[in-house]
Amino acid sequence: TSLPALLAAMPKAELHIHIEGSLEPELIFQLAQRNGVAIPYASVEELRKAYAFTNLQSFLDIYYAGASVLLKEQDFYDMAWAYLRKAAADNVIRTEIFFDPQTHTARGVSMETVVNGLHRACVDAKTMGVDAELILCFLRHLSEEDAFLTLEQALPLRDKFIGVGLDSSELGHPPEKFARVFAKCRALGLHLVAHAGEEGPPAYVWAALDVLKVERIDHGVQSVKDPALMQRLAQDRIPLTVCPLSNLKLCVFPKLADHNIRQLLDAGLVATVNSDDPAYFGGYMNDNFLQTFAATGLAKEHAYRLAANSFEGSFAEAGAKRRYL
């Protein structure tokens, strides 16, 4: 089989997808109409034209605006279901989906509305052969106190998510800011991940590991600047959930050909390929694989390695993991 056919057909796990980032412009307009929410764009085309980003913050501003059309449990279900269908089509058989409850609770949408809608779609995805779980992310531009409040609101729904993460504006909001709330989540037996080293320095990756005690690093591509950190990530087999098209669109690398995914793999790191915010960055899982392999010249051996890394890095229970591998 050809390399593109292998990349498309191979079973894979997605470990870095923000469900609010899967909201396509068409669905934004449909939900705006359904809910009577005004949006400052005249058409789907006009909205899509605004998707020209220069850095993480320029994306986040429009990403939070897009999420404002989500009000009812069914809206969250419809958004997640649309993503899960695309995941199934890309042969994603396991996905661990981030959601940002504070983006919604701040607008008066209840935690139950958010979690119940998303979780029902995850349950229904089993009929498509997709094993889907949820990871609650704290917004790092808000306070740790706000994160504690959010955790408290989510705890009655504890059986509907498997872990917590940390996302939003990275620079100026180091992991240490959330040391106490992550310690509490750890004591509760939740899985722990954090965005670090997307735009931020290697010091943020160190802090995510040593202060927050996360099990995976989301992005982490800036780690190549610190040889001692690279050694630590390789030695402890800490997965990096890399998102090539996201890095391209947010100008972390000038061209996809300049991406350091091969350097990460060659250093023995458990690097994976993921879509991050596919509706905004121009591609779902297989688009990320196909474009990255075409631009950087990765080969079949890298494809097998990336698929194996995705299952090794997943939080699936041990038995399922062995079956996947």
Cα-Cα-Cα-Cα dihedral sign, residues 85, 88, 93, 96: negative
Bridge partners (DSSP) of residue 121 are: none
- Determine contact, residues 10/91, Cβ cutoff 8 Å: yes
What is the C-alpha separation between 156 and 182, in angstroms, rounded? Answer: 18
Candidates 249, 244, 274; CA nearest to 48 is 249
Tokens of 257: 């050909």
Encoded tokens for 84? 């899960």
Residue 15: CB minimum distance to ligand HPA, A = 13
Residues with Cβ < 8 Å from 30, sequence gap 6 or more?
Answer: none
Q: Select the span of 105-113, 137-145, 177-185, 273-281 touching Zn ion (CB under 5 A).
A: 273-281
Q: Residue 168 binds which entry of Zn ion, ligand HPA, none, with Cβ cut-offs from 5 to 8 Å by kind?
A: ligand HPA
In the complex with ligand HPA, the residue whose CB is nearer, 194 or 229, is: 194
Nearest distance in Å: CB 139, ligand HPA: 8
Asked if 31 contacts 37 with a C-beta cutoff of 8 angstroms, the reply is: yes
- Rounded to whole angstroms, how far apart are CA atoms 150 and 159? 16
Residue 78 binding Zn ion, by CB under 5 A: no
Which residues of the chain form contacts with ligand HPA (CB under 6 A)? Answer: 18, 21, 56, 63, 167-168, 195, 198, 246, 276-277
Which residue, 56 or 132, has its beta carbon nearer to ligand HPA?
56
Q: Is 276 annotated as a binding residue?
A: yes
Q: Is 191 part of any known ligand binding site?
A: no
Residue reference for tokens 């991406």:
259
Residue 276 makes contact with Zn ion by CB under 5 A: yes
Residue nearest ligand HPA, CB atom distance: 167
Residue 78 contact partner, candidates ligand HPA, Zn ion, none, CB within 5 to 8 A by sort of partner: none
104 has binding-site annotation: no
124 known member of a binding site: no
Q: Is 198 a catalytic residue?
A: yes
Q: What is the largest CA-CA distance in the chain?
A: 53
Question: Which CB sits closer to ligand HPA, 56 or 212?
Answer: 56
100 binds Zn ion (CB under 5 A): no
Dihedral Cα 108, 112, 113, 114, nearest 10 deg: 90
* Residue 251 backbone phi and psi in degrees, to 5: 60, 30
The binder of 56, among ligand HPA, Zn ion, none, by C-beta within 5 to 8 A per type, is: ligand HPA
Q: Which is nearer to Zn ion, 112 or 215 (CB)?
A: 215
Residue among 10 and 274 whose Cβ is closer to ligand HPA: 274
Sign of the torsion angle spanned by Cα atoms 234, 235, 238, 239: positive
**CA quadruple 262, 268, 273, 277: dihedral sign:** negative
Active-site hit among 46, 198, 215, 312: 198
Closest to 178 in 3D by CA, of 211, 135, 202: 211
Per CB under 5 A, 20 contacts Zn ion: no
Q: 242-279: buried (b, 16+ CB within 10 Å) or exposed (e) per residue?
A: bbbbbbbbbebeeebeebbbeebbebebbbbbbbbbbb
Number of residues that bind Zn ion (CB under 5 A): 1
Smallest distance, Zn ion to C-beta of residue 217, A: 11
Q: Which is nearer to Zn ion, 41 or 63 (CB)?
A: 63
Ligand-binding site membership of 302 (annotated) = no
Q: Which residues bind Zn ion (CB under 5 A)?
A: 276
Residues making up the annotated binding site are 16, 18, 195, 276-277
Residues making up the annotated binding site for Zn(2+) are 16, 18, 195, 276
Active site residues: 198
